[in-house]
Homo-oligomer: A and B are copies of this chain.
Amino acid sequence: MTDHDIDAGVVTQIASRTHDFSRWYLDIVRKAELADYSPVKGCMVIRPYGYAIWENLQRLLDAEFKKTGHVNAYFPLFIPRSLLLKEKDHVEGFAPQVAWVTRGGDEELEEPLIVRPTSEAIIGTMYAKWIKSWRDLPVLINQWCNVVRWEKVTRPFLRTTEFLWQEGHTAHETAEEAQEETLKILALYKAFAEREMAMPVIAGVKSESEKFAGASRTYSIEALMGDGRALQAGTSHNLGQNFAKAFDIQFQGRDSAMQHAWTTSWGVSTRLIGAIIMTHGDDSGLVLPPAVAPVQVVIIPIPRGSWKETVLPVCERIQRDLTSAGLRVKVDASEENSPGWKYAEWEMRGVPLRLEVGPRDIAAGTVLSVRRDTRQKAPMPLDDVTTCVQDTLDAIQANLLARALAHREAHTSEVSSWSDFRSAMEGRPGFVIAGWCGGAECEAAIKIETQATLRNIPLDGVPASGSCVRCQEASVASAWFAKAY
């Protein structure tokens, strides 16, 4: 008998992922205390455990923005109606889904304000004031904030009336620089998703009908969730001179002539938390990549004999050592629950690595480590725990990415006929790569008939060849289609 033969005896009450993915998702959000419903329709509360994931995402992403020369600022929550109206496509895209402030204090407002659904209009107005000369360019500003879009159907993290995000807004001297920035951020998002979230993504350009309201070109990163549906995880827009013209962002160029700036905008949101759940989770609950996990290692003492005098101090020493090495560590020494209950609980909360420490382990000079991703158990020598833990966390991070990539590859198919496309989209289809004629009619027909949308046309995708999967005219691109969140 070892220290670890303990019956869990716990019912985790999470729906089966295979059987009811949607229910499973909501169960995890609730049971792992990531978020909760609020009394405000469509708005969620992000609970501490969920918010700690967001803080990690923020910290890592913010460092990347700063490395690439961006700075943070803060612009008003409210936007006067008249400003929203300035860019024609933009207002058409957003007006139907904004919240309106019509009263302040005890007076009716002369001009109603919208609660920002995105900040191009207010930021463009300020840029027009700040940018006078080519010497003022580029302007590379990011903002972390809340935004509001009046949604009819909501789902925690994935689509809520209010959500948190970052929105970058940059202005440049030339079209080339704006395009370079747009693609630089797209690449930054892709690298971030793959490195930190262990989530492989397709980076590509959106079709005309899927682009941001007011943009010249929209790029996105698209990930494949565990149920075979795609999730747009981030977007980067080249706004051309559209907003500069609408908001009069003009500068004196090197040749002294006045000209309009070229602008971009880009963002990712708390939706990324939903993406993590649906990329890595399993029937036991959440599985968190070490890089973003609020708790990377949970240490559980086995309560045998005089464990508070013998086992607990060892747990606490390991915690100190790991914390000094920069890791996020928790010792669960509570006496209300059995070790088995704790194993199930922390597994459900997705903690990447568990260390079980009992008197026999200590006598043998080891602790037992249990990986969340593979359930693999391995003793670690007590005098080398820190290195072993760091190596194991690296291995988990790498394995989660490899596993997600294998899942995507197993659920990506290339088709050339319409009947193959249709059957590929049955059930839990994944990505389907197919030729597309470039026509919005075919795109719309595909959506109506199969619910699949054109996710994007990858930047490094295969060149167009053959014919449009829908109309059989010549193809202009190999596009990636999927049913999407």
Residues on A close to B: CB < 8 A?
Answer: 36, 38-40, 43-48, 51-52, 54-55, 71-80, 83, 96-106, 112-113, 115, 122, 125-126, 129-130, 135, 141, 145-146, 148, 150, 152, 161-162, 164, 336
Q: List 24 A-B contacts (CB under 8 A).
A: A36-B126, A38-B125, A39-B122, A39-B125, A40-B78, A40-B113, A43-B76, A45-B75, A45-B126, A48-B71, A48-B141, A52-B71, A52-B72, A55-B72, A74-B164, A76-B162, A77-B146, A99-B103, A100-B101, A100-B102, A100-B104, A103-B112, A104-B161, A146-B146
Contact status B162-A80, CB under 8 Å: no
Q: Which of B80, B103, B161 contacts A40 (CB 8 A)?
A: B80
Report the bound CA distance from A419 to B105 in whole Å: 39
Contact status A103-B100, CB under 8 Å: yes
When C-beta atoms are compared, the residue in chain B nearest to A102 turns out to be: B102
Q: Which of B73, B78, B80 contacts A48 (CB 8 A)?
A: B73
Copy total for this chain: 2
Min distance, Cβ A31 to any Cβ of chain B, angstroms:
14
15 further A-B contacts with Cβ under 8 Å, apart from A38-B75, A43-B77, A45-B126, are A38-B76, A39-B80, A39-B125, A43-B76, A43-B78, A45-B73, A46-B74, A47-B73, A48-B72, A51-B72, A74-B164, A96-B106, A100-B104, A105-B150, A105-B152
Report the bound CA distance from A303 to B126 in whole Å: 35
When C-beta atoms are compared, the residue in chain B nearest to A152 turns out to be: B105
CB neighbours (8 Å) of A80 from chain B are 39-40
Q: Which of B126, B129, B145 contacts A146 (CB 8 A)?
A: B145
Min distance, Cβ A223 to any Cβ of chain B, angstroms:
23
CB neighbours (8 Å) of A40 from chain B are 76, 78-80, 113, 122
Min distance, Cβ A35 to any Cβ of chain B, angstroms:
9
When C-beta atoms are compared, the residue in chain B nearest to A123 turns out to be: B45
CB neighbours (8 Å) of A54 from chain B are 74
Contact status B105-A45, CB under 8 Å: no
Report the bound CA distance from A187 to B161 in whole Å: 38
When C-beta atoms are compared, the residue in chain B nearest to A38 turns out to be: B76
Contact status B73-A38, CB under 8 Å: no
Find the residue from A78, A80, A152 having the highest chain B CB count within 10 A. Answer: A78
Report the bound CA distance from A125 to B105 in whole Å: 24
Contacts A52-B71, A76-B162, A162-B78; A101 near B125 (Cβ below 8 A): no
Contact status A74-B51, CB under 8 Å: yes
Contact status A104-B45, CB under 8 Å: no
Min distance, Cβ A434 to any Cβ of chain B, angstroms:
35
Min distance, Cβ A410 to any Cβ of chain B, angstroms:
36
CB neighbours (8 Å) of A135 from chain B are 336
Contacts A46-B73, A48-B71; A104 near B96 (Cβ below 8 A): no
When C-beta atoms are compared, the residue in chain B nearest to A72 turns out to be: B51
CB neighbours (8 Å) of A152 from chain B are 105
Contacts A83-B39, A100-B104, A101-B100; A45 near B74 (Cβ below 8 A): yes
Report the bound CA distance from A46 to B48 in whole Å: 27
Min distance, Cβ A345 to any Cβ of chain B, angstroms:
15
When C-beta atoms are compared, the residue in chain B nearest to A113 turns out to be: B40
When C-beta atoms are compared, the residue in chain B nearest to A270 turns out to be: B74
When C-beta atoms are compared, the residue in chain B nearest to A103 turns out to be: B100
CB neighbours (8 Å) of A126 from chain B are 36, 38, 45
When C-beta atoms are compared, the residue in chain B nearest to A110 turns out to be: B41
Report the bound CA distance from A141 to B52 in whole Å: 12
When C-beta atoms are compared, the residue in chain B nearest to A33 turns out to be: B130
CB neighbours (8 Å) of A148 from chain B are 77
Min distance, Cβ A150 to any Cβ of chain B, angstroms:
4
When C-beta atoms are compared, the residue in chain B nearest to A36 turns out to be: B126
When C-beta atoms are compared, the residue in chain B nearest to A126 turns out to be: B45
CB neighbours (8 Å) of A113 from chain B are 40, 99
What are the 9 A-B residue pairs with the smallest beta carbon separation, nearest first?
A43-B76, A100-B103, A48-B71, A105-B150, A46-B74, A104-B150, A40-B76, A102-B102, A48-B73
When C-beta atoms are compared, the residue in chain B nearest to A71 turns out to be: B48
CB neighbours (8 Å) of A77 from chain B are 43, 115, 146, 148, 162
Q: Which of B51, B78, B106, B141 contacts A73 (CB 8 A)?
A: B51
Contact status B36-A129, CB under 8 Å: yes
Find the residue from A76, A152, A161 having the highest chain B CB count within 10 A. Answer: A76
